[in-house]
Amino acid sequence: MVSIHSKWRYIFMFLGIQLVVMALLSREGYQKRMSYFIRIFRKTDATLGRNHTGAGLTGGDVYANLSHLSKAHIHGDDLPYCPKTSPLISGPIHVSFPSGLTLEEVQRRNPLVVRGGRYRPPNCDARHRTAIIIPHRHREHHLKFLLYYLHPLLQRQQLQYGIYIIHQAGNYTFNRAKLMNVGFREAMREEDWDCLFFHDVDLIPEDDRNTYVCDSNPKHAAIAMDKFGYKLPYKMYFGGVSALTPLHYLKMNGFPNNYWGWGGEDDDIGVRVSLAGMYITRPSLKVGRYKMIKHKLDKGNDVNPKRFNMLAKTRQTWKLDGMNTAEYETISWQYLPLYTNITVNIGTEEVQHVTVVEDFLHQKINRAHSDE
């Protein structure tokens, strides 16, 4: 028989445990603590890279499913199509930034990637050809990590792909959107890509179900970033990583060329999508997750104070400024082992301004002629 005394003891103990659990759950960051405990129990699972525990918890090793692919397979004409959903996809990926990583190590771990950062699945014919366009200057450290995670992720998705770094030459103010226009033109000049991913260098995908394939409308892929609490910051947000077909890109006249410095250009691009009669598609919050490598605002990329005024005029400017007016000078083209580097002189604000104004006048004159 249990005495009344010890009965109460059990009741108090039970209530006490409940209180501790409730306190844990109600405090900010409880997910982290819970995932820590869960990880202890699931340790063997996680190291195999087959962790399906869902977003928010730990992820698997991005290289886990790739070791059986080998150079022994030869790209022949008679390869079957790859399956519609790749069997190599496994879900959440563990992302961390070990200090000793080198490009040589990334190269060693990606033996099937060829000159210029190209890849084709060795044992099936890819259903999709995707070019990754990355605007870049002085972020070699971030690039190394992106390549470490992106190469195996794209291979897991059985894509044919190529990675292009569009490197802005000189020290003049950075211009992210104009570099994207350069990337589009140069990549399409080289190959008939059916999808282009415009990708910040510091965003690391955390789930390989976020496929690097285009939709019927422009797709915003980086929907849940850690820096925004894994939520979309606002409905029209189109920054970080986005995917467009060549047709989408041309329909909206590409990206603006005249946003110098930080901010505004991604919203301008989002507005262009709807002005061109399209809409933004997105993966689920669970899948479109990215970690941003922490950094400060770069030298040469000060916040652009004109961005709000410019944004207010997108409706008037999008046809006058974009892919049709992107002027630049390619300085060098290098096929490196893990990517193609295109160094480009994109000029300065004044030059571009004159071009846009001239273009505007030309159009006016042409219109006046055609009205005659």
Enumerate binding residues for ligand UDH (CB under 6 A). 134-139, 174, 176, 200-202, 262, 296-298, 300-301
Smaller CB separation from ligand UDH, 160 or 266: 266
Smaller CB separation from Mn ion, 228 or 360: 228
Exposure letters 75-94 (e unless 16+ CB within 10 A, then b) = eeeebeebeeebebbbbbbb
The size of the interface with Mn ion (CB under 5 A), counted in residues, is 1
Length of the chain: 372
The greatest distance separating any two alpha carbons of the chain, rounded to the nearest whole angstrom, comes to 107
What CA–CA distances, in Å, run from 244 to 64, 93, 131, 283, 285? Answer: 29, 24, 10, 14, 20
Q: Which does 201 bind (CB under 5 to 8 A by kind): ligand UDH, Mn ion, none?
A: ligand UDH
Report if residue 266 touches Mn ion, rule: CB under 5 A.
no
Smaller CB separation from ligand UDH, 144 or 319: 144
CB of 262 to ligand UDH, least distance (A): 6
Contact stretch for Mn ion (CB under 5 A) within 59-67, 196-204, 213-221, 229-237: 196-204
Smaller CB separation from Mn ion, 202 or 321: 202
Token pair 């910040």: residue: 200
Smaller CB separation from Mn ion, 158 or 301: 301
Closest CA relative to residue 204, chosen from 92, 83, 327: 92
Cα distance between residue 64 and residue 4, in whole Å:
56
- Alpha-helical runs (H) found in 227-348: 246-251, 265-275, 307-311, 314-317
The burial class, CB within 10 Å (0-12 / 13-18 / 19+), for 248 is: buried
CB of 295 to Mn ion, least distance (A): 6
Cα angle, residue 222 at apex, residues 221 and 226 outer, rounded to 5°: 155
Q: Which does 150 bind (CB under 5 to 8 A by kind): ligand UDH, Mn ion, none?
A: none
Report if residue 202 touches Mn ion, rule: CB under 5 A.
yes
CB of 363 to Mn ion, least distance (A): 36
Smaller CB separation from ligand UDH, 202 or 207: 202
CB of 139 to Mn ion, least distance (A): 9
Point out which residues bind Mn ion (CB under 5 A).
202
